[in-house]
């Protein structure tokens, strides 16, 4: 039975990855912040399943502290490490730039150093982001696109991506970065625009909300499903050689497309309820972020399986069901 460490196991990606690894008969060790309550997270159903309880172990540690990270890797001696923890909201990185950058850089450095000294044969995945490309002059972007971030989050991820490459090339570690484009699901954080729209539409349909304020409706993203993306993460660590990969759908959609799909699935006209608020437009908004995953298709055999419309519909009706459970 192989073992894996998943940092940030209670989040969107971490929870889907934990499910995938458990299905593949891994022993899974997950990290979470000290004081966090995993029984109220996206992995609660895994923790309460008697058949899985012996194969999932949680560790409350600070990933920016060297000793607990080193001790964890030494004790577990994992076959694979998936580093998914961290602040993942671009807009929030403007409000807490120091925390965003400190965690992204130090956590990656602590893990790589501990891997090098304690378990050099383990395989390491780090979640990078399309935000490292900033305002690209070409679309779509691939692994050769220049790294030129324009916000604190992108800068932090760029630094961590360079660290992974440096440790791979300098120490021969099996270390990969997945340059992940936007990926969503019903488990997405409530501050992200897709989940915000789906929650509002469900509340409007139920008569609990009457207006939705949004920023730039023309903003476009390459949106995929988190379940597809965690499969790409796993595939990266099953290869003969480590490398970095862009993970994306290669299809661009606007916020208007999200509104059409969300409100349309509930039989509503979004223009009746949505109002633009200039205060919600981010500074220096990146443009033309569209990914080219040809390398992942050729080397990993990976391609997205969930369409944009299927994903938004799933998210919308998950919000409808949550409201039904809450309100009765």
pLDDT along the chain (328 residues), means of 10: 96 97 98 93 96 95 95 97 81 67 90 97 97 92 95 92 98 98 95 95 96 92 97 98 98 97 98 91 65 98 98 98 88
Q: What percentage of residues in the chain have a pLDDT greater than 90?
A: 84
Give the model's pLDDT for residue 93.
Answer: 53
Give the model's pLDDT for residue 282.
Answer: 64
Give the model's pLDDT for residue 102.
Answer: 84
Give the model's pLDDT for residue 99.
Answer: 80
For 236-273, write each residue's pLDDT tens digit.
Answer: 999 999 999 999 999 999 999 999 999 999 999 999 99
Q: Which CATH class is domain 193-221+252-289+306-327?
A: alpha beta
Give the model's pLDDT for residue 108.
Answer: 96
The residue count of the chain comes to 328
Give the model's pLDDT for residue 278.
Answer: 85
In this structure, which CATH number among 3.50.50.60, 3.30.1390.10, 3.40.50.720, 3.40.140.10 belongs to the domain 3-184+223-247?
3.40.50.720
In the chain, domain spans: 3-184+223-247, 193-221+252-289+306-327
């Amino acid at each position: 039975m192989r073992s894996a460490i998943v940092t940030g196991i209670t989040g969107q990606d971490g929870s889907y990855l934990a499910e995938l690894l458990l299905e593949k008969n891994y022993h899974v060790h997950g990290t979470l912040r000290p004081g966090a309550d995993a029984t109220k997270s996206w992995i609660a159903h895994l923790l309460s399943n008697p058949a899985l309880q012996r194969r999932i172990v949680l560790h409350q540690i600070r990933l920016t502290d060297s000793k607990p990270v080193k001790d964890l890797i030494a004790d577990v001696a994992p076959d694979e490490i998936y580093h998914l923890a961290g602040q993942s909201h671009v807009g929030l990185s403007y409000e807490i730039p120091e925390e965003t950058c400190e965690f992204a850089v130090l956590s990656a450095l602590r893990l790589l150093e501990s891997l090098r000294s304690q378990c050099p044969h383990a395989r390491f995945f780090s979640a990078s982001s399309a935000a490292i490309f900033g305002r690209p002059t070409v679309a779509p972007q691939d692994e050769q696109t220049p790294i030129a971030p324009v916000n604190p989050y992108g800068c932090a991820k760029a630094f961590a991506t360079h660290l992974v490459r440096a440790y791979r090339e300098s120490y021969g570690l099996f270390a990969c970065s997945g340059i992940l484009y936007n990926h969503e699901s019903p488990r997405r954080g409530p501050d992200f625009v897709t989940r915000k729209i789906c929650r509002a539409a469900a509340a409007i349909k139920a008569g609990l909300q009457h207006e939705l304020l949004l920023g730039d409706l023309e903003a476009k993203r390459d949106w995929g499903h988190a379940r597809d993306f965690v499969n790409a993460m796993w595939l990266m660590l099953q290869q003969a050689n480590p490398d970095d990969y862009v993970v994306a759908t290669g299809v661009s959609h606007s916020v208007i497309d999200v509104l059409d799909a969300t409100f349309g699935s509930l039989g509503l006209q979004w223009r009746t309820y949505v109002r633009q608020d200039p205060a919600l437009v981010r500074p220096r908004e990146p443009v033309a972020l569209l990914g080219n995953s040809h390398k992942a298709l050729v080397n990993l055999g990976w391609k997205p399986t969930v369409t944009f419309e299927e994903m938004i519909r799933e998210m919308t009706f998950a919000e409808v069901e949550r409201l039904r459970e809450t309100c009765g």
